[in-house]
Amino acid sequence: MTRLALQNAVADYGEGRVLGPLSLALAPGERVALVGRSGAGKSTLLSVMYDQWRDRGAALMPQELGLVPTLSVFHNVYMGRLDRHPWWRNLLTLMRPRRRDVEEISALLERLGIDDKRWAPSGELSGGQRQRVAAARVIHQGGGLLLADEPVSALDGPLSEVILTALTEAYPTVVLAMHDVELALHYCTRVIGIRDGSIAVDEPSQRLSAHDLLTLY
């Protein structure tokens, strides 16, 4: 992946400006945390990034997850690669999954601690379980850049670490919108603090502490 940049990016909601103008650049291999209070503009910034970079291999894990409730966990994860297969193979997989796909996805679900729900409809799962399914889907999708909006907000400490480790190992370059600044500092190499739609902090993680970021909240 080559260097990615936003230049004077803005976003409006109705007649109001909710983001920017702001500029930033991502270097290949960076793991970036977007932190700040709810409504500061983190999700909007991720959406702008995805709109700009989706044709350059960006994958998105949205906060609303986007799972299909009536489909099984397996099929929701399989959907991460729908565009890589012809329509007829996807249709056949809906009715009779191929062994190779089942084995690959089962291994991923096992790593995330949810393989026992492989054939359960995603609509029957808890919030934390659905979040793990969405994480599995975006890992299965793959690509050069992951944009994830609060990927572990419904998970406890140990599971949060399992998911964040899996996500950051699956993609060479990562941008995570997060509320937990301790996790942000641990898993990311750079922290961008958003306040009122603007960049208030942009520093390497090693130069920051959780206390340094309290002014954003």
**ω into residue 62 within 30 of 0, thus cis?**
no
Please give the average per-residue pLDDT across 31-58, as a whole number.
95
Cα(116)–Cα(137) distance, integer angstroms: 16
| Lowest mean per-residue pLDDT among 77-81, 155-159, 188-192 | 155-159
Topology of 1-57+144-217 in CATH? Rossmann fold (3.40.50)
Cα(65)–Cα(77) distance, integer angstroms: 12
Whether the pLDDT of residue 2 is over 80: the answer is no
Whether the pLDDT of residue 90 is over 90: the answer is no
> Considering the entire predicted model, what is its pTM?
0.94
User: pLDDT value at position 15?
Assistant: 81
Q: How confident is the model at residue 13 (pLDDT cuts 50, 70, 90)?
A: confident
User: Which helix or strand (DSSP H or E) is residue 119 part of?
Assistant: none
Average pLDDT, the chain: 95
- Compute CA 119 distance to the chain's CA centroid, rounded to the nearest angstrom: 23
End-to-end alpha-carbon separation of the chain, Å? 33
User: pLDDT value at position 16?
Assistant: 87
User: pLDDT value at position 1?
Assistant: 65
Whether the pLDDT of residue 183 is over 80: the answer is yes
Q: What SS3 state is found at 89?
A: helix
Q: What is the pLDDT of residues 126-167, one digit of tens each?
A: 999 999 999 999 999 999 999 999 999 999 889 999 999 999
User: pLDDT value at position 196?
Assistant: 93
Please give the average per-residue pLDDT across 13-28, as a whole number.
92
Q: Which backbone phi and psi does 44 adopt, to 5 degrees?
A: -65, -40
In the chain, what are the domain boundaries?
Answer: 1-57+144-217, 66-142
